[in-house]
Amino acid sequence: MKRIKIGTRGSKLALQQSAWVRKRIAEKHPGLHIEVVRIKTAGDKITDVPLAQVGGKGLFVKEIEEALLRGEIDLAVHSMKDVPSDLPSGLHLGAITEREDPRDVLISRGGQRLEQLPSRARIGTSSLRRKAQLLRINPRWEIIPLRGNLDTRIRRLETEDLDAVIVAAAGVRRMGLEERVTEFLPLDAMLPAVGQGALGIECREEGGINELIAFLSHRESTMAVKGERACLRRLEGGCQVPIAAYGEVGGGRLHLRGLVASLDGSQLFRAEAHGDDPEAVGEQLAEELLAQGAAEVLREIYRCLS
């Protein structure tokens, strides 16, 4: 192959991530002409409605996947937390990159850490997963739906009179905005989204692109994310539902923890699972959560969101 096209969303963060992938490929395969193609997704077009109310899965990837299937691009760079657990026929994840910091971060207007925020603080977030965990800590906090690109959400800290916003650490690091961070939230306070911090390189199952990008795959990150996604798939969840999972790999074994919460945080189920087969560990984690009562909570959430 002498020329390839990389599909991506057009946000600053998405372009930064695609530029990183492009650079790595160019270094590995000098002489290859690499073009970055911006594609607007449904999630980018609808910015004035909370994600949970938009409905459907793949809000930030569907149009890019369609371009892949039509052969208009050769690979796509996604934030793994945006990728549904089931991919269209003919496509697969050719590589999952080494994971950035998976945590969420707090950016507060007055420099207060999470436990120092006022009892009725206004906190902005785009995620029901974050909302549920925040309300579990303090049900009196007011959670303000926050959409838009990363830099837009941080700016709205001032423009919407918020006390704090919560965003993903990986995006903040990739954009060089670490100086804005007040606190990196510990995992026991804010468990991350499935796949958070990792990039997924999606491509067609057939074709030479798979060999070309294989070097980008990181073994431990792939194992962890596969386990997290297996849990999500069994729970039939998406990125708009209060489901969290995070895996760590040591000695070839996966330690996976996860949670399911009600929308108001009043019910929250936690579980852990271990093993060397990520798919089996993810399914085991999901079964543990369902056995605790998560199934009814998820049914109620889907009723509310439908």
Active-site amino acid positions:
82
CB 11, CB 169: distance < 8 Å? no
- 110 token code pair: 């007055």
Beta strand ranges found along the chain (DSSP E): 3-8, 33-38, 75-79, 91-96, 104-108, 122-125, 142-145, 164-168, 183-184, 199-204, 243-250, 253-261, 268-275
With a CB cutoff of 8 Å and minimum separation 6, the contacts of 33 are: 2, 3, 4
Q: At what angle do helices 278-289 and 219-235 cross, to 10 degrees?
A: 40
In what side-by-side order are the strands of the sheet with 122-125?
142-145, 122-125, 164-168, 104-108, 183-184
Instruction: Indicate the burial class of 92 (C-beta count within 10 angstroms; 0-12, 13-18, 19 or more).
Output: middle
Distances (CA, A) of 98 to 24, 95, 101, 215, 269: 13, 10, 10, 11, 29
